[in-house]
A = this chain, B = another copy of it.
Amino acid sequence: MLGVDRIARAAALAASAGLDGLLIAPGPDLRYLTGYSPLSAAERLMVLVVRPGEEPVFVLPSFERGDAPDGLRYVEWVDGEDPYSAATKLLGAGRYAVSDATWALHVLGLQAAAADASLVSMSAGLPLLRAVKDADELARMARAGAAVDAAFGALLDVPFAGRTERDVGEELTGLLREHGHDSVDFIIVGSGPNGANPHHGVSDRVIAEGDMVVLDFGGFVAGYGSDTTRTVHVGEASDEHQRVHDVVRQAQQVGVEAVRPGVACQDVDRGVRAHIVAAGYGEYFTHRTGHGIGVETHEQPYIVEGSTQPLEPGMCFSIEPGIYLPRQFGVRIEDIVAVTDDGVRRLNESPRELLVVG
């Protein structure tokens, strides 16, 4: 079972980070460590307790036991019992990192039951739990990247003008599935002024000749995420549209070229941002440069001011600068990159120049 190796590695990482243990919630951390995704985790406490030098223990509602993986020790509880004291019996005084997405209900329940245990988030206590991908994971990330590129290539042949963003988005969803995605995670089709909202989804706006269209989309292939953005133009671009696109494209290139082991995350962000500031658009680049990706679409490491985390070979993340001119248009270009032993490898290779669609 894959999980046993990963759990042992996680315990060793926890010890190195000065932690007394990890409290792993259902979701990406649990899936990564055990392959297990409970159907119905929510208000009922389920937590995998990983401690250096101890057997891992899974605390869960007794009726979930049937679906849970073999090879772990279980502490079961039933409705009406207090699950928090069952879990905290496993914790001595010490410092424990909990999965970022653990429910507040459970964090506060655990804190109340274990006065001696201090909890920190996984991002604060053990940010590298899933950040460094092994060879198998890198192969899956590369497959996801190739699949999303293939979907984008096919999308270039479809008509844009006269169709709604929603309609193009549905076509893109179909293309992602057709090109190997097991699930689609998100679709952004931001045409004209909608492109100026970085987290626009789709709308009923009808795409018109002369529009910039931000296309940001991704999903999962064999358990690993894809995420890419290209900005296309309906018909020939104006000089301003072309200029803004050039600035973003160059900034994205600057970011990719800054990636190598040992560089701090914030230095990649600073390089990208400096390029956009120098071009006069600094105030319109309103978000961080990128986010890690793996079994989750957004995960560590974040490529953001304030993160002194050094890059390590095997880390995978996005480089996705954008310029957003309110009420006018937006441009964003995004590739996933993997840090190699001596530099960087792009996992997306769709053309980055401004492509014209019909």
Which residues of B lie under 8 Å from residue A66 when comparing CB positions? 197, 200
Contact of A108 among B80, B109, B124, B304 (CB under 8 A): B124
Nearest CB on B from A329, distance (A): 14
**A102 interfacial contact with B, CB 8 Å:** yes
**A39 interfacial contact with B, CB 8 Å:** yes
Contact of A98 among B64, B104, B120 (CB under 8 A): B104
Decide: A63 and B102 in contact? CB cutoff 8 A: no
* Copies of this chain, whole number: 2
Chain B's closest residue to A197 (CB) is B66
Please judge, given known A-B contacts A63-B286, A107-B108, A286-B63, whether A298 and B102 are in contact too, CB under 8 Å: no
Complex CA distance for A66 and B201, rounded to whole angstroms: 12
Please judge, given known A-B contacts A63-B286, A66-B197, whether A100 and B298 are in contact too, CB under 8 Å: no
Contact of A199 among B39, B80, B100 (CB under 8 A): B39
**A350 interfacial contact with B, CB 8 Å:** no
Decide: B43 and A298 in contact? CB cutoff 8 A: yes
Contact of A286 among B78, B121, B286, B302 (CB under 8 A): B78
Decide: A79 and B40 in contact? CB cutoff 8 A: no
Decide: B79 and A298 in contact? CB cutoff 8 A: no
**Could you give, for residues 79-102 of chain A, a 1 whenever the CB lies within 8 Å of some chain B CB and a 0 otherwise?**
110000000000000000011111
Nearest CB on B from A268, distance (A): 13
**Could you give, for residues 178-211 of chain A, a 1 whenever the CB lies within 8 Å of some chain B CB and a 0 otherwise?**
0000000010000000000111110000000000
Extra pairs beyond A43-B123, A67-B199, A79-B288 (9, CB < 8 Å): A39-B186, A43-B302, A100-B104, A102-B103, A102-B104, A104-B104, A105-B122, A108-B119, A108-B121
Binding site for B on A (CB under 8 A): 25, 38-40, 42-43, 61-64, 66-67, 78-80, 98-109, 119-124, 186, 197-201, 269, 286-288, 291, 298, 302, 304-306, 324
Which 4 A-B residue pairings sit nearest by Cβ, starting from the closest?
A: A80-B305, A79-B288, A102-B104, A100-B105
